[in-house]
Amino acid sequence: MPDSLIRWEKTRRDALGSAIALVFGLSSGAIAYCGSLLEHASFNLLGARLFVLAVIAFLFSLLLSVMVTVTRLYDFRFTVRVIKLRESGDNSVELPRLRHIANHLGKWTWMLFCTQIFAFLIGAVMLMVSIGCLYHQKLFL
């Protein structure tokens, strides 16, 4: 494999890890913010429902963060096993099976990551609308 490809693969892996951590941190902060709003807020019915849905979306995003991290770790683990078998010259039936598992885990990682971002964005939109319902008197008058 060319050196430039190896460097870009490492950069891609690092960027994915950073993005997962960023969304995890933003979701955690959003949940903390929602908790602080509960002390002072009196939502109308629509605002309360959207607020609860936003908190659920942020919690789902946090859960997905953990799931995508675990999936990535298993992906790395199986990829290392594939490399070790390939380097040892052992082309048994184990090698294609491990490659299939590693490829499948890689696809799951990206699917979970995209779902994590989507859940966070849905939560953010719902939180903004619920805050608009809460402070509509101050915002629009």
Q: Residue 114: pLDDT band by 50, 70, 90 thresholds?
A: very high
Amino acid letter at 41? A
* Range from 3-12, 22-31, 90-99 that averages highest in pLDDT: 22-31
Q: Distance between CA 34 and CA 14 in Å, rounded? A: 30
pTM: 0.86
User: Structure tokens of 102?
Assistant: 């590693």
Q: Residue 6: pLDDT band by 50, 70, 90 thresholds?
A: confident
pLDDT of residue 42: 78
Asked if 58 and 123 count as a contact pair (C-beta separation under 8 A), the reply is yes
pLDDT of residue 9: 78
- Burial letters 64-93, b for 16+ CB under 10 A, else e: bbebbbebbeebeebbebbeebeeeeeeee
Reference 116, options 71, 49, 52; nearest CA is 71
**Contacting residues for 103 by C-beta, under 8 A, at least 6 apart:** none
pLDDT of residue 39: 80
Write down the mean pLDDT value for the chain: 89
User: Structure tokens of 8?
Assistant: 């870009």
List, for residues 36-67, the tens digit of each pLDDT value. Answer: 988 877 778 888 899 999 999 999 999 999 99
